[in-house]
Structure formats: C-alpha cells, structure tokens
Structure 1
Amino acid sequence: MIVGEYRNQTTSVLFTYPIKRRKLIAAKLIVILAFTFGVILFSDILLGSILVAADRYHPFVEDSLAMKQVQSMLNAYVVSSLSAAAMALIPLAFSMRKHSVTATMVSSVLLVLIVCSGFDGPLVSIDAALAIQLTLGVAGLAIAWLSMLRLETNDVN
C-alpha cells in the first residue's frame, strides 16, 4: 500500500494536504497492522473452531478441551497475531529503499520461509519460540518507526 503509492507518485499529491506526513504514514501503518492482526487472529480462531467441530464427529484428539485450555490458546493466538502483524512491517525496510513492490513481496516470502521453517517438524521452528516472535515483532515496529523518521528527508526525494 505504501510502496505502491510512492512508486505511482500519488504520495506527492497526498502530501499536499495540510496534514503532517508522519501522521499520514502512521495511519497507513496502523491500517496495515490492524488488517494483518485481524486476519491472522480470525484465521487462527476459525481453524481452531473447525478442529474442535471436526473432533466431535471424528474424535482424533484424546483429551477433552477445557475452558482453561481455550483461554490459554486464545492468549497464544493474540500474542502470535500481534507479533506476526508487527513482523509484517519488516519488508518495509527493503521496499522503501527502491520503492519497489517486488522487493516487498520477495522479502515477505523470504521472511516467512525463514520464520516458519522447521528443522525437525513444526515443533522446532523459529516461530515456536515466543522470545523470537516478540523480538521480530519489535524489529518490525522499529523499522516502521525509522521509516517514519526518514520520511521528512530521504523518502520524499
């Protein structure tokens, strides 16, 4: 969304409005964060619900699901969705250098390949460690912040 507007030169028209550039970019980043968070959380809850519903008709999970487990799963879904939404901002660093949508897509795919790859199945992946998820999330937020700081000087020229 942001890189496409830079590439198509529509940001120069947007920046003529009497609104600070940082606020405009911050609004776009918030939209990206909220959309990514909402879609990931919705898909996690939907797939979890489908799993529970399928287990009622074809029992393949041995234990029953308690409310305490549901609450801990929802908490894990929210934390995972927040960190994934913040990680979605990491490709912004690569794409803002060349104002290239292709660089955004390639860096996004590479990031997902690195983060979600498992060495010995899904239990030993980088995504399984909460500290790594949160660190990458903070890195995404830092990249977004630095992009907003550079906006006044480098990104407009």
Structure 2
Amino acid sequence: MQNLVKLELKRVSLKSHFISLLAANVVITLLSAFTSSLLSADGGVAVTGLPPAQLDTLTLATMLVRAMLIVWEAVLISAFIVEEYRSKTINLLFTYPVQRGKLIAVKIILICGIMLLFHGLSGIFQYACLSFISQYFPFVTTSPANLMTQAITALSAVLLGLLPLYIGMIKKSTIATIVSSFALAAIVSNSQGSSAGLMSIPIAAIVFGMIGAGFSAITVRKMVSSDLSN
C-alpha cells in the first residue's frame, strides 16, 4: 500500500499545489476582510443601505475555503482517476500484480488525505491571519472555533467532495467532474439553513458526508467490475 501511495505521489507536484493553496488562502483572507469592511456598520468602507455583517470574518473565510477545496478535490479526482479512465492509461496500472480495487482505493485515500491536510492548513492560516488583522481593523472579526465541529465539517466536506467522481465517471468526463463540484460548492454554501452555509450545521455536514461516501462506494464498485474496453 505504501509503495502504491509513493507511486501516485510521483505523478503530482505537491509543491505547486502548496504554493497555489497559499495564494488562494491569501486571496480569500483579503476578500473576506474587504467584504467585512463593506458590510460592517462601522467599517472603513460603509455602503449605504447594506445591513451589518451577519457573519464574522473568520466564518466567511472558512465558508469560502470549504467551497474552494471542494472544487480543488474535483480537480485532483479528474487528474488521478477520471482522466486515466478517459485516456485508458489506467490499463497500464491495472497490469500490476495488485487487485484493481486496491489500486483505486489508494487513489481515493490519497486524494482524501491531501484534502484533509489542505483543510487543516487553510483553517490554521485563516485563523492566524484574521486574528492578526483584527488587532488593527475592528471590522475584521473572529469567533472561537469548536475544534470537534471543524473536524467533522472538514471530514464531511472531503467525503462530499468525492461525489463528482460518480458524476464524472458516468461519461468519463473531467469537465463534468469539475462542473459538478461547482454545483456542490454552491449548495453547501447556501445560507437558507444557516448564514454560514449548510455545511456549518454538524448534522447536515454528516449527512452530506455520508452521501458523498455512499456514491463514491458505488462508483468504486462499478469501476472494479467494469470492462475497460468500453
């Protein structure tokens, strides 16, 4: 298993992903702070007619990070799995003396591991940066985070992020995989159930995670039993 993980890691430049993650988090930090300044009643850039911010800046940043990483996960799924099936290069991997199910499981475990790491690093980055900025700009606000809730939400978001695999494998399309992730990101960021997005509700997050895990299990089962010549 460890050798298979190392083999998969050679196919992706994690360094470039970490640099991109840093850049994306910087943009989200600045965007969240700027949005808070617009919505705050006593912010530096007040807009007439807009109500006071309903979300603290950290919660807004967390919601944006969550949506971003759901799309990011779809990109990894496309690169690691869907594109290999589309181009049939997966055939070479299946010539290894390893069960097909195990090979696919390694890919999914690796993707989930990377995304959990990204969620953790992004959460730390946003909390540290916004806590620092809030010392100088009163419209930037943070609230104490419940680590258990954050962990459940992150894990559920990663599992839900596997749902585009099911959609992408129907037509073996990377475009369908990524487009479906944008739809998912919009759904979980919906403020009807909570101003911080549906994924901020632990029960809803667990349900979403179970849905993602269920559809990914169905997809893996089909992938294991499918005829690669089709």
Q: TM-score, normalization: structure 1? A: 0.84
Q: CA deviation at 1:151?
A: 2.1
Q: Within 5 Å, which residues of 2 pair with 1:146-157?
A: 146-154=218-226, 156=228, 157=230
1:133 and 2:198 aligned: no
User: Which runs of structure 2 are paired with 1:54-69 in the superposition (5 Å)?
Assistant: 54-60=133-139, 69=144
Spell out, residue by residue over 1:37-77, the C-alpha distance to the aligned partner (whole angstroms, 9 max, x if none): 111221111101112112233445789x7xxx45x2x3332
CA distances 1:72-114 after superposition (whole Å, capped 9, x unpaired): 2x33322221111111101111111110001101110111111
Show structure 2 runs of 5+ residues with no match: 1-79
1:29 is matched with 108
RCO higher in 1 or 2 (8 Å CA, sep ≥ 6)? 1
Do residues 8 (structure 1) and 87 (structure 2) align? Answer: yes
Aligned residues, how many?
150
Identity of aligned residues (%): 32
Aligned equivalent of 2:174? 101
Q: CA distance change for structure 1 residues 57 and 100 in 2, over 3 Å: closer, same or farther?
A: same
Maintained 8 Å contact 2:162/2:216: yes
Aligned residue for 1:146, secondary structure, equals helix
The reply to whether residue 38 of structure 1 matches residue 128 of structure 2 is: no
Paired with 1:119 and 1:51, the residues of 2 have a C-alpha distance of: 26
1:132 maps to a residue whose letter is A
Q: Report the equivalent of 1:142.
A: 214
Paired residue for 2:152?
A: 79
Residues 5 and 11 of structure 1 are in contact (CA less than 8 Å); yes or no, is this contact kept in structure 2?
yes
